[in-house]
Amino acid sequence: MSETVTKTTSSHWGAFNVTTQGDRIVSVSEFSLDPNPSSIPRHVPAAVHHSSRVSRPSIRKSWLEHGPLDESSRKLRGKEKFVELPWDEAIEIAANELDRVRIKHGNQSIYGGSYGWASAGRFHHALSQVHRFLNCAGGYVSSVASYSTAAAQAIIPHVFGVHFLKFMWSELNTWPVIAEHTQTLIMFGGINPKNSQVSMGGITHHETNPWFEKFAKRGIRRVNISPQRTDTPDGAEWLAVRPGTDTAFMLGLAWVIQSEGWEDRSFLEKYCTGYDQFLPYLVGDSDGQPKTPVWAAGICGIDADTIRQLAASMVKTRTLITVAWSLQRAEHGEQPYWMAATLAAMIGQIGLPGGGIGYGYGAIGGIGISVKRLGALTLPQGENPVKASIPVARIADMLLQPGEQFDFNGQKLTYPDIKLVYWCGGNPFHHHQNLSRLELAWQQPETIIVNEPWWTATACRADIVFPATTSYERNDIGRAQGDSYLFHMPALIPAVGEAKDDYMIFSALSEKMGFGEVFTENRSSEEWLRHLYDEFVTESKHEKIDVPSFESLIENNWVDLPIRSAEYSTRPFSAFFDDPKKSPLNTPSGKIEIFSETIAGFSYSDCPGHATWLPPSEWLGADQAQKFPLHLVSPQPGDKLHSQLECAIADIPGERPTPVVIHPKNAKDRRITDGSLVRIYNDRGACIAKARISEDIARNVIALPTGAWFTPDKNGVDSQGNPNVLTQDIGTSRLGQGSSAHSCLVEVKPEL
């Protein structure tokens, strides 16, 4: 019997211990210093050794036989067998194809956006690897922003003059400050420990639940404004808002504050611009509709008295308004973000400890933690000579409409004509909306290359698939923003099958394509790790932070760096609030922009010059609701990260199809019983799910988490419960062009 070894590793869902026997992971256990460990790692052993691992380089049969120019063969993507080849042959074929495309069509015909979460680990970060490789190859069409926060990334700089991600990492009240000062915590979309289980690159201390226990002890009033009660830890008040209507709710609150004369005029004058342009809209002078609580109630489903009372307590207590990312992953998703800022400005507590506005607490772990930010530990990606890029969620539009113009945040851009797609570290057939439309778009390129550990829906739809290792099969360094820990992530088992690290795959392709040394800089993986670590040591010394030698890190597996302390708690926009003249915000006015001349100048009807209630095309008040009377929200799954580890979960008896949460009244009306199979459908598609009847969801709303592996039958009906067969593939607006996943109407019936 081989030796049993236990070591610690880091992952997007936190640190955990892994026990191996020979070449197998046999079990995992909790990292003892994590106050509230995630149970996601329990699926790791089964997933790593799953039969759906890609074991050898594979090429789609008719692509191999007829080459990339046979149009009819492209329709067979996802429907055809692959031929397994030895590594050297597959590398040569892919290198020749990349060369053919870049010579014949130019690098602007290669799409390498390759969006996705991949795995934790700094050097083997799949996206950094593919981007560096494609830059060395002459560039690629890239993608900007993210599925997570595209609308926020567009609107927040106009309003606060700062990048959205910087706002979240540096301009938020931290948990200790909230615990000490906040009296009323108003959470649009909740603050969900289910979501803060994960963070990009890792999160070692899971703290959302422990902080909420403190908040409860301190008597902080917690109000969860969300279609699901479970979006905050137990014990909060719950206002079951209709999805997509938060802007109307916030306008109702603002109207009460204004009509009572409670708005903080001196704050609005000193720190903001544009309240005077917003006011005529609020009171109805500009459109004939005062945004009264009665008006708001008719839209958002929360009664007018509740809105009035909430407004009163918001101005009378130290109030922090928080907004989940989910609100902006919807049509007109820019509006609730802007309106929440407008409301907080009227209350006048932005910049005060425990007051004002915060975005994305609970969306991922690490937000709200007072930790010193350290740089370095990133693989240099080089320069991309190709300047064309797309907003990330517009991929199907790009593939279907080459040469067409589109608007994006004041710019007019043109979709490039893509001949080759390279994906490494993401799963578009998990993450994109309206998957049958993506299937069509996916038939356009001549060649699709994917590096993947598993036969995901995306890998199955590629022409060339390279088997990639998982983070348990290679040495790496683990570190993340918002976390004080630093890990050596040891190779725990040898590569499964013939898998290779992405770095090895790109080194081999680079070598064949004639720029091997440019890509590798003559460093082995181990040399790269040491090189990146040396840079980190230098940078940390600069910041007067002691970090161990690389040898000592390897020996100890991990270290908790001395970078966590209340002294790193930031006061949001402190310089600006101390002296707005001397330290203006980086907006055109130097102030918080309640009205933006810049945005008004774009003349977008879907994003006017101030926060506005714009009914989405799909919500419970839309005409479409006659035919499809239920609003589908598709949140992130609690038991895993997106589509990762799904293969292991799907093997557990009774776990699939994915459960969909449905209100008892809606279930009864449709003769649906708890645990029975249902069909969820609309004009875009259908999937099968398992009914979970619960009072914890608003009436006429159903919640089906993402992450099921897209498995359509011959009629296109997905058998596993993937919500993206139902969601619509439209931008949030011309400003943000983000994903509108949460704006979706459906009907449900028993599946007989």
Residues that bind Mo ion (CB under 5 A): 148
Site for ligand MGD in 251-310 (CB under 6 A): none
Q: Which of 63, 115, 271, 442 is catalytic?
A: 115
Q: Please report how close the Cβ of residue 41 comes to ligand MGD at its closest, in angstroms.
A: 12
CA neighbor of 200 nearest in space, from 444, 447, 378? 378
Minimum distance from CB of 552 to Mo ion (Å)?
Answer: 35
Q: Is 604 a catalytic residue?
A: no
Q: Looking at beta carbons only, is 186 or 363 nearer to Mo ion?
A: 363
Q: Which is nearer to Mo ion, 144 or 614 (CB)?
A: 144
Q: Which of Mo ion, ligand MGD, none lies near 361, with the C-beta cut-off 5 to 8 A by kind? A: none
At residue 686, φ and ψ (nearest 5 deg) are -150, 150
CA angle 78, 81, 87 (to 5 degrees): 105
> Do 445 and 456 contact (CB within 8 A), yes or no?
no
Pick the closer one to ligand MGD by CB: 318 or 329. Answer: 329
Contact status: 128 vs ligand MGD (CB under 6 A): no
Answer for which of 468, 492, 672, 708 binds ligand MGD (CB under 6 A) is 468
Partner in contact with 637, chosen from Mo ion, ligand MGD, none, beta carbon below 5 to 8 Å by kind:
ligand MGD
Q: Rule CB under 6 A: is residue 580 a binding residue for ligand MGD?
A: no
Distance from chain centroid for Cα 582 = 36
Nearest-angstrom CA–CA distance, 48 and 119: 13
**658 sits near ligand MGD (criterion: CB under 6 A):** no
Q: Which stretch binds ligand MGD (CB under 6 A): 175-183, 184-192, 528-536, 622-630?
A: 184-192
Shortest distance (Å) from residue 734 CB to ligand MGD: 20
502 binds, among Mo ion, ligand MGD, none (CB under 5 to 8 A by kind): ligand MGD
* C-beta of residue 129 within 8 angstroms of C-beta of residue 119: no
Give whole-number Cα distances, 368 to 38, 168, 576, 585, in Å.
19, 8, 20, 22
Q: Is 377 left (phi over 0), alpha (psi -120 to 50) or beta?
A: left
> Minimum distance from CB of 425 to ligand MGD (Å)?
4
Interface mask toward ligand MGD for 595-634; x: CB under 6 A: --------------------------------------xx
Are the CB atoms for 472 and 24 separated by under 8 Å? no
Tell me how far apart the alpha carbons of residues 565 and 587 are, in angstroms, rounded to a whole number.
31
**Residue whose Cβ sits closest to Mo ion:** 148
Tell me how many residues contact ligand MGD (CB under 6 A). 63
State how far the alpha carbon of 295 is from the alpha carbons of 108, 255, 290, 298, 307, in Å.
50, 10, 8, 5, 11
Q: Does 195 bind ligand MGD (CB under 6 A)?
A: yes
Query: Considering beta carbons, is residue 263 or 729 the nearer one to ligand MGD?
Result: 729
Enclosing H/E stretch for 411: strand 411-414
Q: Which two tokens stand for residue 410?
A: 């004041």
Contact window for ligand MGD (CB under 6 A) among 166-174, 194-202, 279-287, 368-376 = 194-202
CB 57 within 8 A of CB 467: yes
Buried b (16+ CB within 10 A) or exposed e, 320-356: bbbbbbbbbbbbbbbbbbbbbbbbbbbbbbbbbbbbb
CA distance 39 to 22: 24
Query: Is residue 189 involved in binding ligand MGD (CB under 6 A)?
Result: yes
Q: Which is nearer to Mo ion, 138 or 705 (CB)?
A: 705
Q: In this chain, which of 73, 142, 451, 481 binds ligand MGD, going by CB under 6 A?
A: 451
In angstroms, the CA 704 to CA 699 distance is: 15
Residue 427 is a binding residue for ligand MGD (CB under 6 A): yes
275 is catalytic: no
**Helix/strand/coil for 79:** coil
Which of the residues 13, 117, 175, 255 is marked catalytic? 117
CA diameter of the chain: 81
Q: Cβ of residue 494: shortest distance to ligand MGD, in angstroms? A: 16
**Closest-CA residue to 348 (of 314, 323, 306, 324):** 314
Residues within the interface to ligand MGD (CB under 6 A): 116-119, 124, 126, 147-148, 188-190, 192, 194-195, 197-198, 225-228, 231, 241, 243-244, 246, 324-327, 329-330, 363-364, 424-427, 430-431, 451-454, 456, 468, 502, 633-638, 641-644, 703, 706, 723-724, 727, 741-742
| Residues annotated as part of the active site | 115, 117
